[in-house]
Structure 1
Amino acid sequence: MRVWPLLSGVSGYDRAIARSTRRRSVTLRLTHKLLAGAVMLACAGLAQAATLTISCGTVGQDYDSCKRLTDEWARKTGNTVQLLSIPNSSTEILDLYKKMFASHAADVDVVIVDAVWPAQIGEHLLDLKEAASDEVKKHFPALIQNNTVHERLVALPWFADVGLLYYRKDLLDKYQQPVPKTWEEFTHAARVVQEGERQGGRADFSGYVWEGKAYEGLTCNALEWVHSDGGGTFVDNTTGQISIDVAKTGGAFDRAAQWVGTISPKTVLGFGEEEARSVFQNGNAAFMRNWHYVWDLLQGADSRVKDKVGVALLPAGEAGQSATLGGWQLGVSKYSRHQKQATELVMYLTSEKIQKRRAIEGAYMPTYPALYRDSEVKASSPFFGELHDVLEKAVPRPAAITAARYNAVSASIWDAAHEVLKGQTRGEEAAKKLKDDLSRLKGEQW
């Protein structure tokens, strides 16, 4: 057996051990630095991640769509998104926002904004003009203009909307009625179908359901009735002048009042969008006035009218057809603690790519004109191709011109119409009083 001699000084073996030890020491120090750097980067990432709260619509499929898309964005970015529960009524949503903004609450980061709200709550929203500079020119110009307050782009269009007439194709065929083009033809067709169905044993069947409750939805209906008869837009959207033709406005109100208790149930005076949709979707009405969002719901597996529904422009009055411009936008609260991430979320949700998906999957009307020429979008809904022109001609409510006073203006309009619908006053009397009320609200200027 070989015996290793006891070595003195620094042998080659000792030097090898020393070199190995130094290498391990350098490696350990480098590893520690890398681990420390990774921990710092991870912490930085966690610091940048945010929990955002967004208010989405609660009507129909709006909530589910928003939840699905915000979850997708959250997975891609590492952020978390919570959905704020909000009322169904647009009037109640606006009241909620005003209370939150008055206290500068940071509880919500992204808000859904009705087409008539930018001038009312714009001061509480971030200016998105710089962030959306490349996208602005791609949207319908009227929508960008609507969302611009004192040269600040306070919201980005999420989806557009217009008032439309839904009808039962099968029942019009059954009773040999054409799709009505005028209010007179419409009233006649609704009466014929209603009488025929009731004689067949359906005592609860109605000719027409619509938004007759005293709220913003009734203002939209009233604008369509009056404008189609040449009675003005209540307040001129350019000059701010009161534009009510008393005789024509009164006549339009009286015509609608004649529907209540005849072709429409008396309970229509308490209907909003969803109440009207429920009756129609359950097969209990021949016609319905509603927004575009209901189309996809009417074609759902649980719908009793699936594949039996047609869509048309609202009937024409003396001055032609009219449709109220609607739709929803997304804005960022200036009280948000996460403004950068909230802006990025808004840009994602309102992008052309996401709007195309929503158009195909949920029949939402895009705010990008180019998508109305997209073959996949057009194939997803039988009348998407026609909606481009309807949007360009749709009538806006006088929200921008009346600014902070619009809510009072709209309340005066729906109250006047509702009084006539209930039979408590005649159309011309209500129109004259409305004209005086709006003049008082305006004063010298809006």
Structure 2
Amino acid sequence: MQTTSFSIAARLTAALATAIGIAGAAQAATLTISCGSNAADLKFCAGFAERWGKANGHEVRIWSAPASSTDNLALLRQQFAARSSDIDVVMIDIVWPGVLKDHLVDLKPYSGGAEARHFPAIVANNTIGGKLLGMPWFVDAGLLYYRKDLLDKYRLAVPKTWNALAAAAKQIQDGERAAGSPDFHGYVFQGKAYEGLSCNALEWIASFGGGRIVDESGRITINNPRAAKALDTAAGWLGSISPPGVLNHAEEDARGIWQTGNAAFMRNWPYAWSLAQADDSPIKGRIGVAPLPVGEGGRPAATLGGWQLAVSRYSQHIEAAAALAMHMTSAEVQKQRAVEGSYNPTLPALYQDADILAANPFMAELLPVFTDAVARPATVTGLKYPQVSQAFWDASHDVLSGKRSGAEAVKRLEGKLRRIKRRGW
């Protein structure tokens, strides 16, 4: 591997984290870290954590979070309410710091200033009341995956608008079914009623110029014609280019269809790249990644995602847990996760790393997608964000399933959000 100038700083960061772990936990500790639920998350979380534990005389156990981020948050809130010490290092979504702020440790005394090397916007997102409640772990944004071989076969360009996507998906779907693949679909995405649908629907609405549900001042903006049209457009995909089952699909459901070769296009997060390029993947070498399409009168929009590592206030080994969190978010670990698992680093310097760009060419090409992504209104709605998001995904799901038109759904949603806002956000 080539060595970058950032590697020296990375090794110093890792060494500092190790030193903190040794100094702060003279006795061996048993720590539990929560990792994601998909295969990539477990592989690229558990391995690094367990190796750190062995090197520092600790035992590290892995807790696999629920597949649904909604279920994950609900379970964490139950555990924190009970002041459970079962999990020491917690993987939290980018929209959770404000929801979980009373249960997380301030990491500034343990960071050695390492947060200054991460994307400032993410550090600011994780800082509440001057307390650093999570170290940036990896950053996400929604992407369009496509089959390069099928675009070539049907002489199609990568679609830049949602209408172009629908037309290309239909043409490929019809052709592949006629050629003997009756289960082939044009486009798969996350349509289940959960946080993932909030991400997809926000992308549709923002790309049509319909705003982002609640603006930065706290004003409810969802009830507008562009937002309604975006939802109606997506509803038109069901039964046409997208299977009806997409109404129950989360990330891994969509990837399962896509990676077995049964879809032309997919919306998903960057983690899907390395899995689709694995040696046992039926579509290895035949995929491409692009920004999500644009709606009428809008601009490209990808929902900002990402995860942080936080330490529970109820951990019995806070200093050792903080050392583990610092190690896991260090430059060296983030680089390996990027090269082997296509996780987007939260350290800008790593986007110039030759090894990372060789493994993930799209990280350089799509850097503006990650840096200019659309944020969910989690900061402005604070503790009420889970209620806001649930109301949004329920309204979106109603449109997708044909229960309501886009106009009806956004009007009803506005009323729900006003009632939530009256209780304060």
Range class of TM-score, shorter chain: over 0.9
Contact in 1 for aligned 2:42/2:64 (Cα 8 Å): no
User: TM-score under structure 1 normalisation?
Assistant: 0.88
* 2-structure distance, mates of 1:45, 1:293: 34
2:420 alignment partner in structure 1: 441
Q: Which runs of 5+ in 1 are unaligned?
A: 1-43
Aligned to 1:48, the other structure's residue is in SS state coil
* 2-structure distance, mates of 1:409, 1:426: 20
Structure 1 residues 46 and 174 mapped into 2: Cα distance closer, same or farther (>3 Å)?
closer
User: TM-score under structure 2 normalisation?
Assistant: 0.93
Pick one of 252, 269, 285 that aligns with 1:274.
252
Q: CA deviation at 1:45?
A: 11
Pick one of 56, 60, 65 that aligns with 1:81.
60
* 1-structure distance, mates of 2:186, 2:423: 44
Structure 1 residues 110 and 444 mapped into 2: Cα distance closer, same or farther (>3 Å)?
closer
Q: CA deviation at 1:146?
A: 1.0
2:154 alignment partner in structure 1: 175
Contact in 1 for aligned 2:25/2:319 (Cα 8 Å): no
Q: CA deviation at 1:301?
A: 1.6
Pick one of 275, 285, 290 that aligns with 2:268.
290
Contact in 1 for aligned 2:24/2:319 (Cα 8 Å): no
Q: CA deviation at 1:201?
A: 1.4
Q: CA deviation at 1:387?
A: 3.3
2:74 alignment partner in structure 1: 95
Aligned to 1:326, the other structure's residue is in SS state strand
Q: CA deviation at 1:46?
A: 9.3
Deviations 1:356-391 (A, max 9, x none): 111111111000011001111111112111233222
Say how many residue pairs are matched: 402
* 1-structure distance, mates of 2:271, 2:285: 16
Query: Letter of the aligned partner of 2:359 in structure 1?
Result: S
Aligned to 1:143, the other structure's residue is in SS state helix
2:194 alignment partner in structure 1: 215
Residue 393 in structure 1 maps to residue 364 in structure 2: no
Pick one of 321, 324, 327 that aligns with 2:303.
324
Pick one of 317, 320, 326 that aligns with 1:338.
317
1:164 alignment partner in structure 2: 143
Pick one of 355, 364, 376 that aligns with 2:343.
364
1:309 alignment partner in structure 2: 287
1:18 alignment partner in structure 2: none
1:203 alignment partner in structure 2: 182
Structure 1 residues 380 and 45 mapped into 2: Cα distance closer, same or farther (>3 Å)?
closer
Contact in 2 for aligned 1:232/1:245 (Cα 8 Å): no
Pick one of 326, 349, 357 that aligns with 2:328.
349
1:300 alignment partner in structure 2: 278
2:387 alignment partner in structure 1: 408
RMSD of Structure 2 on Structure 1 (CA): 1.4
Query: Letter of the aligned partner of 2:288 in structure 1?
Result: G
Query: Letter of the aligned partner of 1:256 in structure 2?
Result: A
Structure 1 residues 197 and 52 mapped into 2: Cα distance closer, same or farther (>3 Å)?
same
* 2-structure distance, mates of 1:47, 1:136: 25
Pick one of 197, 209, 224 that aligns with 2:203.
224
Between stretches 270-279 and 397-406, larger displacement belongs to 397-406
Contact in 1 for aligned 2:291/2:366 (Cα 8 Å): no
1:37 alignment partner in structure 2: none
Query: Letter of the aligned partner of 1:388 in structure 2?
Result: L
Query: Letter of the aligned partner of 1:171 in structure 2?
Result: L
* 2-structure distance, mates of 1:313, 1:182: 10
Q: CA deviation at 1:86?
A: 2.3
Contact in 1 for aligned 2:98/2:383 (Cα 8 Å): yes
Contact in 2 for aligned 1:60/1:294 (Cα 8 Å): no
Residue 265 in structure 1 maps to residue 262 in structure 2: no
Q: CA deviation at 1:445?
A: 4.1
Q: Which has the larger radius of gyration?
A: 1
* 2-structure distance, mates of 1:288, 1:298: 12
Structure 1 residues 46 and 92 mapped into 2: Cα distance closer, same or farther (>3 Å)?
closer
Query: Letter of the aligned partner of 2:275 in structure 1?
Result: L
* 1-structure distance, mates of 2:298, 2:25: 60
Q: CA deviation at 1:95?
A: 0.9
Q: CA deviation at 1:60?
A: 2.9
Contact in 1 for aligned 2:290/2:366 (Cα 8 Å): no
Query: Letter of the aligned partner of 1:84 in structure 2?
Result: W
Query: Letter of the aligned partner of 1:114 in structure 2?
Result: D
1:241 alignment partner in structure 2: 219
Contact in 1 for aligned 2:24/2:320 (Cα 8 Å): no
* 2-structure distance, mates of 1:290, 1:66: 20
* 2-structure distance, mates of 1:391, 1:150: 26
Deviations 1:40-91 (A, max 9, x none): xxxx999611000111111231112111101110121001100113211111
Aligned to 1:322, the other structure's residue is in SS state coil
Greater relative CO, 1 or 2 (CA 8 Å, sep 6+): 2
2:354 alignment partner in structure 1: 375
* 2-structure distance, mates of 1:167, 1:46: 48
Deviations 1:98-130 (A, max 9, x none): 111001111111100011111001210000123
Aligned to 1:406, the other structure's residue is in SS state helix
Contact in 2 for aligned 1:369/1:388 (Cα 8 Å): no
* 1-structure distance, mates of 2:195, 2:171: 30
* 2-structure distance, mates of 1:439, 1:397: 17
Alignment of 1:175-194 (within 5 A): 175-194=154-173
Residue 256 in structure 1 maps to residue 260 in structure 2: no
Aligned-residue sequence identity (percent) comes to 51
Aligned to 2:108, the other structure's residue is in SS state coil
1:20 alignment partner in structure 2: none
Query: Letter of the aligned partner of 1:365 in structure 2?
Result: N
Query: Letter of the aligned partner of 1:164 in structure 2?
Result: L
